[in-house]
Structure 1
Amino acid sequence: MATSTTAQDMMRCDICKNNEVQMHCDACLVNLCKLCVGEHFSKDLSKTHKIVDYKDKKSTPIFPQCASHSDSLCECFCKDCNIPLCLKCVISTDIHRNHNLSIISDILRFRKDAINKDFEELKETIIPTYQFIKSSVQLRLKQIELIYDNIKKDITKHGQDWHKEVDKCVNKLSSSVQEMKTKHINLLKEHQDDVNKRLGTIQDSVQQCKNLMESNDISLCLNYTSLNEEYRQLPQKPVGDIPVFTPLQITPSKFLDMFGNLTSLTFRKEKQGYSMKTEYSLPILKHLTEKPDFRASKIQIIDKSDEGISQDRSKKILISSRDKMQILEFDQVSLVKSITTETPNRVTDISVTNNGKLAYIVYNYDNKNISVNKMNESMENICLENWRYCDMYINSSGDLLVIMECYEEKQVKVVKYPYSNMYVKQTVQFDNENKPLYSSGICKCISENRNFDICVADFEAGAVVVVDQAGKLRFRYTGNALWNSPCKPKGISTDSQGYILTLDWKNSCIHIIDQDGQFLGYFELSFRKSYPLAMCTDGDDMFLAVGDRRSKNPSIYECKYLQEL
C-alpha cells in the first residue's frame, strides 16, 4: 500500500509502513507510530531525538551541531564572531569571554523578523514594481512599433510626390529607420529579458523566505543572506531619442539633402528611470458614481460659444465661438487670464492634445476651405473642394481627424491629416459591404478613444458610430430605453477608462458606454431641457459643458462622474 496521504488513505508510519502516524521526531523529521518509537531511538543512540505528537511537529527548534564539540548542540550565539556556540565553547575557552553573547533562540526570533520584513517587501513592493516595469516595456515595444511604422509611412508618402529619381532617397532613409528601429527594439527586448531574469530571481528569493519562515532549522536561517538591497537597485531604464523625419520642399537638385532630415538614433540609460511602487504605480481604475456631482463654474463666457470646448493639461479652458477663440486660465473657480483671438471668418472648432498640441478651425465660405490654426505655429489650409466641414479632433498621435460632408452626393467621410503636414493620411467612409458608415448631414462630432477607435456622434442617424484605427466598423450605439424619444447625439468625448460619453442633445443627458459599445449608465444635465452648447472631458475625468443656450452669458458646467475603485 502506498505510504503517501490520499483522499482515501491515512498517513502511515515511516518505519513499519502499516500503522497510522501518531508521533514525529523533530530531530530526524521522521513520522512514527507509538509502537515504533523505541525502534527509532535504538537505531542511533548517539543522536538527541525529539519525539512530539504529530500535530506538534516542527515545534521544537533544531539547534545546529557544534563545530568544535560533536556531541553538543549550539544554544548560544556570539554576536562579535557571528557564529553559534555550545555551552562547552562558552565555558571552556577564553576566546569569547568578553564577547557579546546571546541565547540562540533570541537571535532566531530577530532573524525571522528580518526575513519576514524581506518577504513582505519582496511581495508588496519589489515584485509589483518589476511587474509594472515588465508591462511598461511591453507597452513601449508596441508604441515603438507604431511610431517607427508611422515615420516610414510619412517618408513613403512624401516620396510619392517626387520623381522616380527620389526613390533612391526613400529607400536609403527607410533603411536607416528600419536599422534604428531594429536597434531600438533589440535594446528594449534585451532590457525586457533582463527584467524577466531578475524577476525570476526575486521570486526565488520569495520562495526561499517562505521556506525559512516555515522551517525551524536554525542553520538555514543563520546562513540566510538578504538580497533585497541588491533588488532595490532597480535596472537602468533605456531611453531612446526617437528619430524625427522632417520633409523639405522639392527642388531640382540635391535630392537627398532636400528630401528630408532623419535624426540619428541615440540611447541613454536613466538611473532614476524607475522607482518603487510608492511612486510608480499601475494606472488607477475608476467606476461610475451613483450620483454625478454637477456644479456650475463662476466663470462667464464672453459669447454664446456653440462651436467647441477643450481643456489642456495645464487646466486652460479653450472655447471657440462664431468669430473668436477664448482661452481661460483659472485656479479652481477664479479666472486668472482670458485671451481672445478674433477672426474675420467663422471659428468652427477647437481641440488640444495631452502634449499641448492645439488647433482651431476657421471656415471660409467663399474659398470652400478651412484654415488649421496652430497656436504659436504656422497656419495651413485644407481645400474641401465639394465637401463641407463638420467637426475636428486632434488624436493622441497628433493627427488631425476631420469629418466632412459632400452635400451634392449626400456622403460623409472622416479624413486623417498629420499635424505637421496636411496631406491625406487616411479616409474612412464605407463599411466592409461598401455601404456608407455615416448618414448625410453636417451635424457630426468626432473623437478618438484610448484604444485608437474613431468615435463619431451621428446626429441625423441617432447613433454613435465607432470604427477601429484601420477604419473597420466595430459597433453602432443607438441609445437605451431612457425616454420615449430617440437618442440624438450631438457631442462626444472619451476618458482615461476608455468610456465613451455622448451628449444626447434632445433629452439633455449624457450616455456612457464602454469601448465595446455596452451601455454603462447615464446622467441628466443639471440644466436639463436648456440645450447645452458644447462638451468635453478633461485629463482628470471631469465632464465639462458650455450651457445653456437660453442664457445671455453661458457658464461652464463641471461634473465628476467617476470615482476610484
Structure 2
Amino acid sequence: MMSEPSDEQAAMQHYLVCGTEDCQQNGQFYCNDCHRPLCEQCREEHLKNLDTKTHEIVPYRYRKQRLPVEKCKHHPTRNIDIFCKECKIPLCSKCSTKDEHQGHKFDDLEDIYAEEYALWQGEFSKIQKYFLPTTQVLKNDIEEDVTEIKKIMESIRTSMNAEAESLKNLVDEVTTEKKKHTRTMEKSLLEMLKSQERTYDDYIAYLGKMNDEFQEYLSLTNKKLLFSETLRIKTIPETTRPVPPVFTKGKFSKDDISKLLGSVNVPNIKPEKRKIQPMEAVTTHMKSTEKQLEQSKEKSDMKQTLSLSSSVTKVRKYSVPGVYNARHVSVEKSGRLWVSDLRGNLVQTDLQGKQLQKIQTSGGEEGYHTATQDGDLIYTDQDENKIYRITPDRKITEFIKTGDWRPLGVHSSRINGDILVGMGKDREAKVTRYSKAGKEIQNIQRDNQGQELYSDPRYITENINGDICTSDYYKHAVVVLNKSGQHRFSYTGQGSVFYPYGICTDVLGHILVCHVTFVSSTVDLLDQDGGFLSFILSPQQGIQCPCGVCVDDENNLYVGQHGTNTVTVYKYLQ
C-alpha cells in the first residue's frame, strides 16, 4: 500500500508524484475514495472507468485525510470503519449487524474523521497564526516591561543616593555651624576665666604691697606707730566657677532618618491587564500585511528597473477650476487630483480637469491635505484643531482632535497608513504620528540634547525607508528623522538662504523639495541621505514659483505653482 506523503514532504518535493502505477506526472488531484494523488490525465481516466467514475476527486490541497487503520477487537480481520450514531461508538461492518445495533443509523467513520481532522487542522492553524504570535507579542511586552522596570529601579536608586548625599551635606553643614558655636562659647568662657585670673593677680599684688608696709611698720623704732594706724586688709575677691556646656545627644532613630528620606511604594492602583488582540484583528492585519508585502514586492521590482532620466519631460497640464493658485497637490490612486490655494479652497478634479468637489477649509499655504492608500482624503482644520476624513462617497467625518496644538502639514504613509501631522503651539512645534484609526502613537519635538527639532513644519512626507522628511520654512531647512524620531540630517539648500515649501519622495528614495525666492525658484532633488543631486526643475523649464509637489504611483511628478491654478505633470524617471 502506498503511503501518503505529509504536507511537509510534499512541499519539499519538486512536485507530488501521481499514485497511478508507472505514472510519474504531477499528482495535483486526489481521489478521496482510493486515497491516492492523480495527475490530470489519470483523473480523466479515473472518471471514465465504470468502477471509479463515482469517486470523489478534488484538488490535492482539499483532500480528505485517510482514516487510520484500527482492527476490531471482536473481529480481528475487519477494520473499524463505521460509526453508530445512537450508541456513539465506532464499529466494524460486521459488528453493525449485531442485535444491539438493529435499526440504528450509521455514519462513515472516514467522513467523521475527515471532518474532525479539518477541525483540528483549523485549530492548529489558529495556534500557528494567532495564539503563538499573539503570545510572543505578550512575552515581548513582558521583556520590555522587565527592561523598563530595571531602568525605573536604577533611576530610583540613583535618586536615593542623591537624596542621601544631600542629607549628608546638610548634616555636615549643621555640624559645622554647631562646632562654630562651641568655639564661640569656649572663647567667651575662657575670656571670663582670664578676667578672674587678672582679678586674683591684682589681689596678690595688693597683698604683697600690704606685706611690705606691715614689715616696715614692724621694723620702726617707734612702736607707737603700730597703735596709731589701723591695719585693714581687703577681703579676697569672689569669683564664680564657669558652668561648662553639656552636649545633649540628638534624639533620633533609624525610623526618624527613614522619614526624612524618600520612600519607595507601589501605588495602590489596580494593575492594567495586558491587551490581547482578538483573533479577528490579527487575521485582518495578516491579510493587510500580505497585501502590503505584495505591493512592496511590486515596488521593489519596479525600483530595480527605474533610474533618473537625463532630462525632465513635461507630460500634461491641468487647469484646476475653483482655486486661485496651486499651493499644494495630493494625487489619489485613481489619478484624480486634490488642489488647495491660499484662500482655503480645496478642489477635487478628474483626469480631464473637471471639478468634482469643492470644500472651504481654514488652510492656506501649508501641505494640509493628503490622499490615503484606501482612497480617502485627510485634511486639517487649524481653526478647530481637528483633522477630517473625506471618503470616496464624499462623506466628511471628524477624524482626530489635536487639543491645543494647531495642525499644519499632514501626510498619509504609503508604508503602513500611519498619519504624520506637523503641529504648532505658541513658539513650539512638533510632529505627531497617528495610526490609521486615529490613535496617537508617537510625538517628536526635541533631539537627544533637548533642542527643538522644528520651528514651522508646514509640509511633511515619509520616505521609503521610514524617514520622516519635514519642510520647515523658518528653520530654512528640510529636517529628516528616522522612523524612531532620531535626527538624521538637515538639508539647507545650495548657497542662498533656503526657503522650503512642498516636499515629497519617490520609489527610489529621492527627496524632492520646492525652494521659492523672488530671484530664482527651483525643485531640488536629493538622495535618501540628503546629498544634493540636481535642480530637477528651475526657471529654465518654465517654473516660476513651485509650492506643491507630489509623485503618483506611476512615478509622475505633479507640480503646483503660486500665481496660477495650473498643475504641471513631469516624467523624470525612466
- Category of TM-score, reference length = shorter chain: 0.3 to 0.5
Q: Specify the structure having the higher radius of gyration (Cα).
A: 2
Q: Name the structure with the higher strand share.
A: 1
In the superposition, the TM-score normalised over structure 2's length comes to 0.46
Q: Name the structure with the higher helix share.
A: 2
